[in-house]
Structure 1
Amino acid sequence: MRGAGGGWNRGQAIQIGALLLFAILLISLSLFQVFVVPSQNGEIEFKHSQEVRSDVLGVRNAVLDAATGDQSFVEVSLGPTYPSRSLFVNPGEPAGTIRTTERQPVTIINDTGGSNTNISDDACPGSTSATRALEYGIGYNVYDEAPTYRVEHTVLFRNFSSDTLPGSDQRLVGENSITLLPIRNEFSESGTGTATVEPVPGGTITTPVSDARIELPTAYDEATWKEILEEPRSRGDVTVSVDESTTPNTLVLAFSGEFTLYCSPVGVNGPPPSGARQGSLVGGSGGTGSINPASASQVQLVSVSKGQDNGVVNVTLRNTASRTKSLSRGRIPFYYTGGQSGDPTEAVLNDNASDTLRIREQFERIDENIVIARNGGEVTLSFDFDDKARDDLYVFEAVFDDGTSADYYIDTPKSQGGNNPTATATATGNNPGFSSVSVENIPRGSTGTAQTVTFSPDSTLPQGETVTVTLDDAQGVTGSEKPNPVDYQPASVDTGASTLQGGSASLSASTNTASITYTASGRDVASSETVTIELTGVETRDGNAGPFTVPFSRSDGGSTSGNFSLT
């Protein structure tokens, strides 16, 4: 009997052990679901918040370009995509929304011969003077420190739960000018994919004004606008106030002296109600121009040739602009199959599998750094299709880093053919920019580190203009579990080691932001000159090594970006 009882006890022990192992497995899976999955999703959401910041800044820049008659579009990533999980469960992917706000009136008062005259409806095209702001917002599942964004009166604002920070400079008030860019169309798109935002330029009216008073709707307080508009000016010719008794608030700008007022309405994905500017690309389709336009373009198609493999097509582009450009996005929206071809569904760009363009699909970000030097620089793009590509016709749509875009209509060579250039490209955007920028890599886990930042303008930077170098991506806005990888708060500009070309440079940093402001204070900076800014006292941590995106923007024109990593 003892033997029988001992066997039963041993069997019971094995069953209990198996149950314990199963319980441990369930607990481990539960812990992974509760802690690891949210942590991984939070990292994805954080990266998306960095990506969308660049997208919305691109929208703001496209609105400014529309004021000059240039037309481009921006693809905004509305929400992040979580990885698929076989054993674990993701929450629903958060949907972002980009939209215009309700239309609000704009009031323009001009002093004509000692009497104040309301010229609102005469100074801006259209029968009614009104504007909207453009907003983006998203509610992430994990990351709770992401701002909402608002483009209002030429400024991009980042709205955090406890603070509002400008994400760009302003173009509302110039040296002797006032620029109003009323956004007129209603627009809204929500989801987890991408939204195409295409500002369409309207007509422009130029009006000389004297001691003008302009009232604009705003979501922000007086201190915010004084810091942006009034404090940087030393002449005292504009007084800023905000009436917070109205809904929304009213920004009141009181000017002293003579100014030139420019008013140019902008439509979103369609012409404004007052009509599109002559020569603009109306329709709001997200396209970049007509087929083979006759006008000269900045980025031209030079030649098309076949590669050694029947699926490879080589396309050579030439940049005739005065600024260096790099390819940031691309897609193939159209493909016509000829008699000698197969049926391609995708093409790999420059043998980089991460840059795979699927035919008739949305824009893809170009990971490879494809740079086309200014003033005649050339680059050859290799399209490796997944089937034969001979005697076919396809369209390659390219978006460059400065927001300009182009359509290339490419007639692929026959199997025994030679070069066959058949297309031109339309590229837009002529703002002053940069011929080169650089930010030095720095070591991880160090204190008192030096870092060199350089830039060269592609055209003269006039005396009094500024260049802003934004270091937010490294300084960032991060949670307690994800400290800033770089801290610029203890750092400063080493003027003795810098080459400032007669100008001055300053570094400002807080927990959330960091930026360098260079001012051409002593003289103009020529396009052949390089400004070198040496930072000292930079601190870095272990962890995220980047790369970190660093936007460079000119107060008189365009912008570009560099990057650096922790080594």
Structure 2
Amino acid sequence: MRLWGDKRGQAIQIGAVLLFATLIIALSLYQATVVPQNNKEVEFNHNLQVQDQLVDMRNALVRTAGTGTEQPASVTLGTQYAERVFSVNPGRPGGTLETVSLGTISIENAATVGDNPYWETVTSHEFETKGLQYRPNYNEYRNAPTTSYEHSILFNQFEDSTSRVLADQSIVNGRQITLITLDGKYQESTTGSVTLNARPVSVSAETVAITNTSTGPVRITLPTRMSEEQWLETLEDQSVADGGFVDLDETTYTPGSPNTITLVLKGDETYNLRLAKVGVGTQVESERATYITTDKPNQTVAPGASERFTVTVKDRYNNPVSGVVVNSSNETKFAPISNTTDQNGKFEFRYTAPNSEQSDTVVASILGNSTNYERVNFTIEVSEESGNGDGGTEINPAEVGDIRLVDARTGSSDTILEFDLENTGSTTTNITAARLSFFYNDGSGQSGHTKADISDKAVGGITELPIGGKFKQLSPNEIEVTAGDTTTVILDFDKKVSKGDFAVLSVTFDSGQTATYFIASGE
């Protein structure tokens, strides 16, 4: 019997091989085309997300410059692909966030409007600054932009050198000029998230009023990585042609290392300039004291009285500097009250006037006292007719922020006239000197009053005031008038006080202000 061969199994095997080959080819095509495309989409979406986070970072830097408080910002430098079963992802994409060198900001042809010895003397100013840059390291989205921060602007920069603004400039807003410099060293490269802390170095809400000099208009030169076209576009709404104050016809862009743009401001205008310095990372340099100033260089003090004199120490950014020692030209009569300047840059002296009328000069100075802006000269008139006497002061001041007389009455003893002073301001102040210039007796009670003891009802501490006498300093019994509160003051006379009697009391506060109160006894 003959057996015939059977070839039917070969077809099944060949089919299986072909099916397997088709599957391999499909997986290969999926790996080569679909996976990269999906991953590119993940990377693109991440880039949009990180740009939003970098806008938040930019806002944190600007807020720190405006508020003086540290502001954190979180940025996710990398992303993660979807998990796959039959295909393979490349390594997780990450990114780098780091500070980059920019160059020097310069201000030229700027003259101060008002009394500021530093800005009167120095008309050209330079400030080093840096930028921040985010560079993604994607596997598929290879033409992703580099996102950069400089001078309050956040922008994308592409390989063809074009740029697109994500957060607009706050340098020029009408006549308000705000320049924020960045200092420090920061670099993080990771696939995860990082937190950048923006720290205030030299900040305040204070401005200095400037205008142009006879040399020419105010010119502000900024180092930049942004394109000229983008600069002109972002400044357009501040241009002279659009009702603003930036002369774009004179503004120049100079390519180089670095590129610079020089903003030219409209001449014969007054601008409010605010300068701030913000730090990130390490190696942030603090700002040193540069100049000293005061609001009241010429003052008057009554013979025998004492007054507090206040100076402010600032850095080259026009912001207050704490921890600075201020020197006195004569510590006997112009004695330092503070040890160093406080957080607002303030330093106080107490001037004790001689008992006779005369002119006097004292000096407060910092550093080496080598320039006019390292010292303040106080010219003092010691006079009974001074602003610290009764003349020229408002009787019973009643404006918001004043120390107001709100009530008066006879006290627990028939010799006492007590009254309430309400501090409607935001700063606690002390009564440092007082003068009881007049007392009126309506004739129904005792007469012949010659003196009264003034004191704080709650604290005590008596200072004798002769009626019609000179100002007397209350130290060490100064009367504190707390901000937003009421203080009761006692005048204890040497004779009985009756209904219808009244006294005229002039006081000096440690702020240098004076006030006169007409105090009438009640029931």
| Smaller-chain TM-score bracket | 0.3 to 0.5
Q: TM-score, normalised on structure 1?
A: 0.44
What's the TM-score, normalizing by structure 2? 0.48
Structure number with larger C-alpha Rg: 2
